[in-house]
Structure 1
Amino acid sequence: MSANRKAEVEKAVEDVDFSQNDYQVVLNTSKGKIVLDVYGDTAPGHAKNIIGLARIGFYDGVVFHRVIEGFMIQGGCPQGTGTGGPGYTIPAEFNSKSHEPGVLSMARTSDPDSAGSQFFLCVARVPHLDNQYTVFGKTADEESLKNVLEIGNVKTNAQDRPLDEVKIESAEVLVNPKAA
């Protein structure tokens, strides 16, 4: 079991205010930058969670451990195996957003309330995931989507693990005040 990082994450998001600001999480990867708009209005618990994890450096050095061409790329496991997390879980926030290319959604087990730190980015339209997994963001620009799609095309082994490691070198949070 991973160390519980919940207190650190909660402290890191004390200043998050979705009524005043929009937030972006920037994943600086070995395949380029991925800028993600997070949906604080649609899935505030998940949005705060990824902001907090990014702020405490949780994602720094973590790999995309699972890549399925025509489906998604998955990261956020501190062990790089798909079995780890932040030591806590958050409840599902299912919503009407569609799983389409560039969408940020939360990975989980068969228990809808088992999400922690693992997320996936869709590389195609995946309708069977709609209302089953929490959508909480999307790529902010064409370059970010291009980089997601490029990662989605890397060669993998039989377990969907990239043959050449694709790493999140660092993650950062951008705060953008809403227009008055």
Structure 2
Amino acid sequence: MKKLVLLTILTMVVMGCENQVTSHHPKVTAQQAPRDSTQATIQQQPNTKAQDSLSIPQETLTTDNAVPFFFEYEKKHKERYVRIITDYGNIDIELFNETPYHRANFIFLTKQHYFDGTVFHRVVKNFVIQGGNSERWEISRRRAAIGSYLLPPDTKKGFKHHRGIVSMPSSDIDNPHQFASPYEFFIVVQKPGAYHLDGHYTAFGKVIAGMEVADRINEVATEGKDNWPVKEIKMKVVLLNNQEKE
């Protein structure tokens, strides 16, 4: 009889322990579920400054939410100087305060390291060099993580397409307002300038050092109707402070 009572007590203790473990096992929530790797990539990219709530959009950018996002972003991110690093040398660029959305867009993409590993994918002799694109899958994933968006043109600030001007091409998407492709840019190498572009494309910066590098890139061999360089010209874009630009 004593053995039966003891066995009953042990059985109840074991069952109680099993129920305790089961009741404390955490349930899988939406926050704990695995996230898409392309979304995680952009959120984990380090900035050169401490991150704040405006450093990264809460959702992927679209044409509808891009301007409101950059309107707030440019208030806290006032950087104006960047350096394009290539195997041909460095190109230093000053971004215009007068084109705030386009300046903020370029600073944002630089801080997200979007341009690192992209290439100058279009070189038109004695005209322009165009960069910010690549056929690499990694670059496509970065764009997907950031978002698919266009920026409205800002062509009435008085900037002409002089030699050395940095401007934003229109999107390949047919749109009546000539919205710009935010991931790409071109540098005018034509002398004294490419003034037929005025009023059609947004000039948002200028080369302040390294124009000879742009000229060297403009001399590379190209192929096809798209003027794609035969040899890949990769770039990395970094922020400059006032001391570095001087």
Q: TM-score, normalised by structure 2?
A: 0.60
Tell me the distance in 2 between the aligned counterparts of 1:151 and 1:48. 26
Tell me the distance in 2 between the aligned counterparts of 1:97 and 1:13. 20
Asked if 1:37 is matched to 2:94, the reply is: yes
CA contact (8 A) 1:59 1:78 kept: no
Asked if 1:79 is matched to 2:135, the reply is: yes
Q: Highest relative contact order (Cα 8 Å, sep 6+), 1 or 2? A: 1
Q: Deviations over 1:38-95 (max 9, x none)?
A: 001x211101100110111000000111000011001112437xxx765211111113
Tell me the distance in 2 between the aligned counterparts of 1:98 and 1:14. 26
Larger radius of gyration: 2
Secondary structure of the residue that 2:148 maps to in structure 1? coil
Residue 64 of structure 2 is matched in structure 1 by none
Secondary structure of the residue that 2:76 maps to in structure 1? coil
Give the count of matched residue pairs: 164
Asked if 1:148 is matched to 2:214, the reply is: yes
CA contact (8 A) 2:120 2:131 kept: yes
Give the Å deviation of 1:108: 1.4
Residue 200 of structure 2 is matched in structure 1 by 132
Q: Once the two structures are aligned, what percentage of the paired residues are identical?
A: 28
Give the Å deviation of 1:156: 0.5
Which of 57, 66, 73 is the aligned partner of 2:122?
Answer: 66
Task: Mark the CA change 1:147 to 1:39 in structure 2 (over 3 Å): closer, same or farther.
Answer: same
Tell me the distance in 1 between the aligned counterparts of 2:134 and 2:231. 18
Residue 118 of structure 1 is matched in structure 2 by 184
Q: TM-score, normalised by structure 1?
A: 0.80
Residue 152 of structure 2 is matched in structure 1 by 91
Unaligned runs of 5+ residues in structure 1 are none
Task: Mark the CA change 1:13 to 1:29 in structure 2 (over 3 Å): closer, same or farther.
Answer: farther
Q: Larger % of strand: which? A: 1
Kindly report the root-mean-square deviation, in angstroms, between the aligned alpha carbons of the 2 structures.
2.6
Amino acid at match of 2:127: F
In the TM superposition, 1:7-26 aligns within 5 A as 7=57, 15-17=76-78, 23-26=80-83
Tell me the distance in 2 between the aligned counterparts of 1:76 and 1:164. 16
Tell me the distance in 2 between the aligned counterparts of 1:55 and 1:73. 23
